[in-house]
Amino acid sequence: MAEDVTVSEETLTSGLTLLVNLGKVILQKAKQDAEASLENFVPHKITTLFGLMTAGADFYKSIGVKKKSEAEAVWQKTYHRAAVREKVEELLQLESDWDSFLESVDRDLQTTDGQLSGVKTPDSLSPDTPFTDGRSGKSVTLDHVAELQASQTVLEARSLRVLVVSFGSFEGAQLWLEQTGCTFDMLLDPQRKVYRSFGLGSSYAKVMKFGCLLQYSEYGAVNRDFPDFPPRLLEDIYQMGGDFLLDEAGKVLLSHPCKSPLDRPTVKDFLRVVDAAGCSADL
């Protein structure tokens, strides 16, 4: 627990200094590459920003924590000290500069997130909406998926069914399911028709925002690897997602377009809506 972690002022300020300095170097290089050619920067060089995750993981390890929230708790305990406060403020300034840069990239490239953000969430999704089954590769509809699940007599009765929807390829879906061990049904929307109907576009600023990457650093802090995808199967990592709750007729009961990849409603949020609606639903 973070409240049990004791870190000397020297260790904390040293770790913060290194994190800030590395972050500044990464950001400066990204700005130079973007200024040279924004069109070349995005597909080929923007991923250098992910170097912040390694720097963040090293910082967490240096002060003996595993999470971003725990690191914040550590420096809050000694924030009254001038040296710590100065380094934390430098980190916050770096975060502001980092996010502002990525927002400018979104604006200059007119990413679809900005174009679709004002799209009104549909009131319902037709049961005839076509998808590709992520496990079998067969063409299916929401109605067909419901029929398949209803026929599985060994499946315990439940009011909520989770469906994972991805825009990726069938081969990529197979690899993701294998590496993550996900047991939920997966549907593929390769043309992103459903994504667009719910106003979900791509955004560099939201996917690579400073705070988000520092949370991803938590994987490195505990030596946990991300799913390993070959480059040919690595698709649009800047596509934004969302969580949506539909009833049996396809009526949208809850709509939550994500503000970042880590922005997700809780299970309790969904159960509260299901209980209020008094119906079974798809998530």
What integer pLDDT is reported at residue 4 of this predicted model? 65
What integer pLDDT is reported at residue 86 of this predicted model? 97
Residue 155: pLDDT over 50: no
What integer pLDDT is reported at residue 101 of this predicted model? 97
Residue 53: pLDDT over 80: yes
What integer pLDDT is reported at residue 145 of this predicted model? 58
The 3-class SS string of the chain reads CHHHCCCCHHHHHHHHHHHHHHHHHHHHHHHHHHHHCHHHHHHHCHHHHHHHHHHHHHHHHHHCCCCHHHHHHHHHHCCCCHHHHHHHHHHHHHHHHHHHHHHHHHHHHCCHHHHHCCCCCCCECCCCCEEEECCCCCEEEHHHHHHHHHCCCCCCCCCEECEEEECCCHHHHHHHHHHHCCCCEEEECCCCHHHHHCCCCECHHHHCCHHHHHHHHHHHHCCCCCCCCCHHHCCCCCECCEEEEEECCCEEEEEEECCCCCCCCCHHHHHHHHHHHCCCEEC
At 154, is the pLDDT very low, low, confident or very high (cuts 50, 70, 90)? very low
Whole-angstrom distance, CA of residue 124 vs CA of residue 221? 42
Residue 240: pLDDT over 80: yes
For residue range 104-149, list pLDDT tens digits in order: 999 998 887 665 555 677 788 887 888 888 888 888 786 665 554 4
Kindly report the average pLDDT of the chain as a whole number.
Answer: 85
What integer pLDDT is reported at residue 158 of this predicted model? 47
What integer pLDDT is reported at residue 128 of this predicted model? 81
What integer pLDDT is reported at residue 279 of this predicted model? 65
Residue 228: pLDDT over 80: no
Where do the structural domains in the chain lie, given as residue ranges? 2-109, 119-202+238-282
- In CATH terms, 119-202+238-282 corresponds, of 1.10.10.10, 3.40.30.10, 3.40.50.2300, 1.20.120.1200, to 3.40.30.10
For residue range 248-270, list pLDDT tens digits in order: 888 999 999 999 988 988 888 88
Higher pLDDT, 59 or 222: 59
What are the backbone angles phi and psi of residue 188, rounded to the nearest 5°?
-105, 135
Task: Name the pTM for this structure.
Answer: 0.81
For the ranges 24-28, 73-77, 145-149, the lowest mean pLDDT is seen at 145-149
For residue range 203-221, list pLDDT tens digits in order: 999 999 999 999 999 999 9
For residue range 171-181, list pLDDT tens digits in order: 988 988 888 88
